[in-house]
Structure 1
Amino acid sequence: MAPRRNTGSTGTGRRADALSRERIVEAAVELLDTAGESGLTFRVLTERLATGAGAIYWHVANKGELLAAATEAVVAAALTAAPARAPRTPREAVRAVALGLYGAIDAHPWLAPQLAVQMPRDPVKSVTPRIYEAVGRQVRALGVPESAWFTGTSALVHYILGAAGQNAANGRAARAHVGTDRGEFLDSVSTAWEALDPGEYPFVRAVAKQLRDHDDTEQFLAGVDLILAGITALHAPGAGASD
């Protein structure tokens, strides 16, 4: 991490004290939500916070660090948001974690791309361990043997982040069709699928109606349940025994 830049000015020092890192990150998230990654600049950030660049650099060294901090803040909030009813089983807890991340990725269009970049680039930063810890504790609580903890947790994490990101992208694509709501968009796609060549696309034609009628959140959670069912069935006592 680059050292913080301090101008030595008493006024700047007072601004740095008054302007917390948390407030900077909060403003960065707001900018990312409204203007995207390209709209997040230190110039715009200083204008929004009514401060000087030195006060911001006191807390964050560069844009990369700021993006990482914004990502960590949103993920932390998503994972700590209390569900309406406390989960009673590991399966319910995994679903609660999945829904928290699903909602965050849907609400913050920049989050999925940042997770895709940051998790492999710097897996020791808090965002990766935080997500794996939230899911992995529940995989362990399912009674899965330790040798399968990482594989089972990775399967769930990859599905949750990938499916949530794809769903968010689909939602943005639907909204991009001016004057078209989600139902109209799905109906148009479903109609196009039904019109495909039956010899070349028998499966796609068969599921076209399911595409038209599906609920995104229910479909997402069904995928979580499928993976959980596979993990528990694969590692149930006697599952690997020969007949």
Structure 2
Amino acid sequence: MTDSTTSDAARRGGGRARGARTRERASHSLDSVLSEAVALLDEAGAQGLTIRALATRLGGGAASVYWYVSGRDELLDLAADSVLAGVLTSVAGLHTDDPIADLRTIALAMFDAIVDRPWLGAYAMRNTGAQPNSLSLYERIGEETLRLDLTPRQRFHATSAVVGFVIGTAADMGQEPPAEVVSGEVTREEYLGRATQQWRALDPAGYPFIHHIVDEFAGHDDRDQFLSGLDLLLDGLRIQSRR
């Protein structure tokens, strides 16, 4: 794994090998390319990110983007990794006497970074060989499990479970709303209200669980739902570490 300065230099060298124009690359930096890529992804999603669209946004030609990345796939991986760099920064000084509490804080920071970005769940930690911040975040989470009385296998499973739960739940909750909500035809509350009515209309004999929790569904908060699930996972980890 290389640091960002070394990676930047390596890409500049690769750009020379591809014959990129000095005039075009001089107007950008890797940080500015990734910053604008994330902004474009936040606005238009993964389908809206193209090398040409990003170059236009940056005010240069496509070669000025290719100076830093080999193509769209690498750009998506690095853009996702740059977001996770912010998570690393936010928890850099975190260290309490309770590793479970620290795991919860890191997981919540990671969730908050992903949940409002529907594109990010598919690319976060997709390729840690090319995503140094993702690998460092995985390491950071894993190091908290070193403070628990667990076997290497249990630590591996615990770290994977936390990462998988955070990314999976955030990606699910951050999905693009239905077209009628996006268009403004109905509000999110109206859409959920309609779904709630459909659930209430189901046969209680065939759907006893749905009827049991429908009132909770009607007024649920996504972040609270995530935290409840995370606490269940971490409570199990705490119990396992005491055996």
**2:150–2:241 contact (8 Å) kept in structure 1:** yes
2:67 maps to which residue? Answer: 58
Measured on the aligned residues, the alpha-carbon RMSD in Å equals 2.7
Equivalenced residue count is: 229
Q: Percent same amino acid at aligned positions?
A: 32
Q: Secondary structure at the match of 1:178?
A: coil
**1:93–1:138 contact (8 Å) kept in structure 2:** yes
Taking structure 1 as the reference length, the TM-score comes to 0.82
What CA distance in whole angstroms lies between the structure 1 residues aligned with 2:137 and 2:215?
35
2:135 maps to which residue? Answer: 129
From 199, 202, 206, the equivalent of 1:200 is 206
From 2, 9, 15, the equivalent of 1:4 is 15
From 75, 78, 86, the equivalent of 1:69 is 78
What amino acid is the match of 2:45? Answer: G
Q: Secondary structure at the match of 1:172?
A: coil
Q: Which runs of 5+ in 2 are unaligned?
A: 1-9
Query: Are 1:153 and 2:159 counterparts?
Result: yes
Query: Are 1:230 and 2:243 counterparts?
Result: no
Distance 1:101 1:222, change over 3 A: same
Distance 1:144 1:209, change over 3 A: same
**1:144–1:232 contact (8 Å) kept in structure 2:** no
Distance 1:133 1:82, change over 3 A: closer
Shift of 1:177: 6.9
Q: Which runs of 5+ in 1 are unaligned?
A: none
Query: Are 1:39 and 2:45 counterparts?
Result: no
Q: Secondary structure at the match of 2:45?
A: helix
What amino acid is the match of 2:143? Answer: R
Shift of 1:233: 1.0
What CA distance in whole angstroms lies between the structure 2 residues aligned with 1:226 and 1:101?
17
From 115, 120, 138, the equivalent of 1:111 is 120
Distance 1:104 1:182, change over 3 A: same
Output one character per residue of 1:48-95: Cα deviation in whole Å (capped at 9) or x when no partner: 111222222221121111111101001111232259x95633222222
1:21 maps to which residue? Answer: 30
What amino acid is the match of 2:60? Answer: T
